[in-house]
A and B are shown apart, each in its own frame.
Chain A
Amino acid sequence: MKNMASGQCPDELTLQLYVDGETAAPAAELIFHHLAHCQNCAATLREMREARAFCLERLGEDDEREAAISHQLLAEARKTIQQKLEAASSSSAKVGWLARLMTLPRPVWLTTATALLLLAVLSVIWLSMKSISAAELLQRSAQAESQVGTDPSQVIHRTISFTASMPVRDTHFKVTRRIEIWKAPGRDLTIRRVFNERGELLGGRWLSAASKQSYYNRNIKAQMLIPALPGGIPTLEQLLNREFTTQDFQQLIGAAKLARVETKPDVYIINYSNEATGLVRATLTLRRTDLQPIAQTLVTRCRENLCESNYAEVGLEKLALATVAPSVFEPEPELIESSVNGKPASTPAPVVTR
């Protein structure tokens, strides 16, 4: 505008604004006066106005035919917009319902409860993974053991498989025995019967709370082999006296501090070794659920040989006293007969109470 005031022609932009009526009143007046004297600018302005009019004419309202089409398309568009709005409204209502639901049960207590649950699970895992000492485990097992078989209405029936092997010169000796233990607190009796591999009854021991013991040995040939063997394989009497218990194992190994615990999914295995005492290896397997002993292995050195004996629980029954046949608690006639008429039972001296 300053240029115009000094007599210069307005630029293209200024003229265009003037054509479109977008020039402020003072500037429009200046242009108006300039155009009156400037043929070039007047011609340019004329061209601009013609072009504007041409465009407005062509680009103005649609003709009748196009307007009819537009009308139809716009009605369709309105319908589509309405449908789209309804769909959006229903989906946003669903989202709103879900959002409200999500916010409802999410107060602090839920987070806390989740965290506590997680901690509990982790603690259980940690405790199960935590190593337990052999001494502690043996103590707990002994406690658990003492609580078994105290119910007078129950009879505990255990079956132990015993095997012992030992190489002697060119021969490999192997002994297999089956030990049946009946514990009946209601009758104040603990009975042990030892059978050979053929199922023949070799001997028995009847123990009462009054510490009265009765031993019955059968004088059969199979039994004769055992005392003839060098030490390492227990004799019949040793088998009859040997307790297949945790306490028994504790007494055997003595120093539980030297024992090591191996944790398996179902069992604990306690290993002990002290060659100085002749006990090359002693292993006790405890069931994890109730800490009851279910297997025991002893490897002892007998001169130059190693003797291995294995005890394994192969059966465990808890029976009602009333359901057990009375004959179970009575010594078999052949035992009484052999003890009275045959050879006397070996040490300890038999005390036949019947």
Chain B
Amino acid sequence: MQQDFDDLYQCHAAELYRYLRRLTGARMTAQDILQEAFFKLHLQLSAARALTNARAWLFQVATNLAHNRRRDEMRASQREERYEFSPKVVDFHQQLEQQQLLQRALQNLTPQMRQVLLLAAEGFTHREIAEITGIAAGYVAVLIGRGRAAFKHSYQQNDRSSDEKHG
């Protein structure tokens, strides 16, 4: 069981972390959620519950945790809203301009659109995304198409503004 867990961590931790970091816009939040998701996975494996698609299960749990955290943060109005891009977000290292652009473009999307876009970028099929997010499969495809277009547009617009600023 421990070996299974280690293997799953080895295989999926990096992509789950990346997904969560982009989804939440903060490394530490992503790390917290990742820990919680893998802890739940361990409990699941300990209880000998069958997981047909551990990767999708992990992303689903992590997405729900991110959802809950966002809801809690929205309730605590005085706390920093991490879903909205904020230049005040403190990271270990200085953000690179490209990453800022990417993050800004993601933050311009609706949470639902951002979720499906990121999951699609991680290689999940429409059906899997539908299972993870609970969104109807047909609507997932629509959201992905519109999300990609919106992301591209937003990213390029921010990129141009940035270029103009730097002169």
Report if B144 contacts A (CB, 8 A): yes
Minimum Cβ distance to chain B for residue A314 (Å): 79
Which A residues from 49 to 90 make CB contacts under 8 A with B? 50-52, 54-56, 58-60, 62-63, 65-66, 69-71, 73-74, 76-78, 80-81, 84-85, 88
Contact across chains for A60 and B14 when beta carbons are under 8 A apart:
no
Q: How many whole Å from A315's CB to the nearest CB in chain B? A: 79
Is B155 in contact with chain A by the CB < 8 A criterion? Answer: yes
Which residues of A from 125 to 182 have beta carbons under 8 Å from B? none
The answer to the question of A275 belonging to the interface, with a C-beta cut-off of 8 Å to chain B, is: no
Among B52-60, B82-90, B115-123, the one that faces the other chain is: B115-123
* Interface pair B149/A47, CB less than 8 Å apart: yes
* Closest chain A residue, CB of each to CB of B117: A55
B138 touches A77 (CB 8 A): no
In whole angstroms, how far apart are the Cα atoms of A73 and B155 in the complex?
27
A51 and B141 form a contact (CB under 8 A): no
Q: Total number of A-B contacts with CB less than 8 angstroms?
A: 97
A78 to B155, CA, bound (A): 33
Contact status B142-A77, CB under 8 Å: no
Tell me which residues across on chain B come within 8 A of A22, comparing CB atoms.
125-126, 141
Chain A 100-141, CB within 8 Å of chain B: the 1/0 string?
000000000000000000000000000000000000000000
B144 touches A74 (CB 8 A): no
- In the bound complex, residues from chain B placing their C-beta under 8 Å from that of A59 are 22, 102, 117-118, 121
B3 at the interface (CB under 8 A from A): no
Contacts of A55 in B (CB 8 A): 117, 120-121, 148, 151-152
Check A12 against B93 for contact (C-beta < 8 Å). Answer: no
- In the complex, A63→B100 CA distance in Å? 13
Q: Name the CB-closest residue of B to A60.
A: B121
Cross-chain contact A77 with B13 (CB below 8 angstroms): yes
Please indicate the chain B residues that have their CB under 8 angstroms from the CB of A74 in the complex: 13-14, 17, 31, 34
> Considering only CB atoms, which chain B residue lies closest to A59 in the complex?
B121
Q: Is A17 an interface residue (CB 8 A)?
A: yes
Given contacts A69-B27, A70-B17, A74-B14, contact A48 B38 (CB under 8 A): no
- Known pairs A13-B141, A59-B117; list 14 more (Cβ under 8 Å): A13-B138, A16-B141, A20-B126, A22-B125, A48-B145, A48-B148, A51-B149, A55-B120, A55-B148, A56-B121, A59-B22, A73-B31, A74-B14, A81-B38
> Which A-B residue pairs are the 3 nearest by beta carbons?
A59-B121, A51-B148, A16-B145
Mind listing 14 A-B residue pairs with CB under 8 Å? A16-B141, A16-B144, A19-B145, A20-B125, A20-B126, A20-B144, A22-B126, A48-B148, A48-B149, A51-B145, A52-B148, A54-B151, A62-B18, A74-B31
Tell me the B residues contacting A by CB distance below 8 Å: 9, 13-14, 17-18, 21-22, 27, 30-31, 34-35, 38-39, 42, 92-93, 96, 98-99, 102, 105, 117-118, 120-121, 125-126, 138, 141-142, 144-145, 148-149, 151-152, 155
